[in-house]
Structure 1
Amino acid sequence: MTQALDATDLKILNELVANARIPVTELARKVGLSKTPVAARIRQMEEMGLITGYRAILSPLKMGMTHVTYLEVRLSDTREKALTQFNQAVRLIPEVEECYMIAGGFDYLLKVRSHDMADYRRIMGEKISALPHVHATSSYVAMEAVVEQNWISV
């Protein structure tokens, strides 16, 4: 998909990633075009599905979610139906910030945000352990965020 994008499209995307609320007139000035073609390019990238939406990014720390735990999950069943059931259920847990299916010694890796260890224990006991087909888990508590990015430049 990025093959169809030119350097100006990439500049527009970088600016939008950095500040999705930038006025089109300011964005146009930054990329060296007038307002109309910039707006048309944005609309085209939205229609292509490259830009999927705009949202506010909240600070987990300011929200009191200072505790980060990475969690390995092993399932008792890895047939397609079980994977689908797990995927659907884990998406409903708001404290699960990220969830990846892994090829390796376990099935899923979750990033869980909580207020503190007691809150994490509650989330584990009430929500994660109750997910379909969970057989075993291993938790790794993060002590410090060394690199944490909300976006990747294009």
Structure 2
Amino acid sequence: MLDRIDRKILGILQQDGRVTNQDLADKVGLSATPCLRRLRRLKAEGYICGYTAIVDQKLYGLPISVFVSVKLVQQADEYIDEFENAVMAWPEVMECYLVTGGRDYLMRVVTDGLESYERFIKKKITRLKGVGQVESCFSMNTIKREQQLPPIVG
């Protein structure tokens, strides 16, 4: 179970993953050694999955996000496995979720333009034998994109 200090540590790290242990300890009201012990425990227990830099996708050269919903022809194990294994290998797929409702999967794909997205659809998605329908929605603007989880109320 996470206590108040653990949650505070995780909140601070989500804001600044490069904070030093001493600064982190100061911010949560601990000395450096117990803070480091907690940090190591949070990593070992899987609360902290890794550290990364958040890169501006437009400046990087991939300005377009496309939300792609996919419906399989049927939810047979072979189609599910083929689709999920393929998605894991496609670098342009930033996120993929198995969802409820009228579709089976929802993905966020990044691309540098319509031509490369068309290649992605033609050369990758539609070549999978289990794919029945594909629907694309192009993001016009990002209104909100958070990396930090909200606090748990209660």
**Fold agreement, TM-score > 0.5:** yes
Matches within 5 A, 1:1-154: 4-154=1-151
RMSD: 1.3
Q: For 2:124, what is the secondary structure of its paired residue?
A: helix
For 1:92 and 1:133, how far apart are their aligned partners in 2? 17
Which secondary structure state, in structure 2, belongs to the residue aligned with residue 147 of structure 1?
A: coil
Name whichever of 61-70 and 32-41 sits farther off.
61-70
In 2 relative to 1, CA 132–41 (structure 1 residues): closer, same or farther, beyond 3 Å? farther
Q: Any conservation in 1 of the 2:14–2:147 contact (CA below 8 Å)?
A: no
Using a 3 Å threshold, how does the CA distance of structure 1 residues 18 and 108 change in structure 2: closer, same or farther?
same
Instruction: After the TM superposition, list the runs of 4 or more consecutive aligned residues in structure 1 that deviate by more than 6 angstroms.
Output: none
| One-letter amino acid of the structure 1 residue matched with residue 147 of structure 2 | N
Instruction: Give CA deviations for 1:84-118 in whole Å, capped at 9, x if unaligned.
Output: 22111111111111111111111111111101112
Shift of 1:132: 4.4
The one-letter amino acid of 1:30's match is K
| CA contact 1:73–1:137 (8 Å) conserved in 2 | yes
Query: Residue type of the partner of 1:66?
Result: P
- Measured in 2, the distance between the counterparts of 1:62 and 1:152 equals 25
Return the alpha-carbon distance in structure 1 between the equivalents of residues 54 and 127 of structure 2. Answer: 29
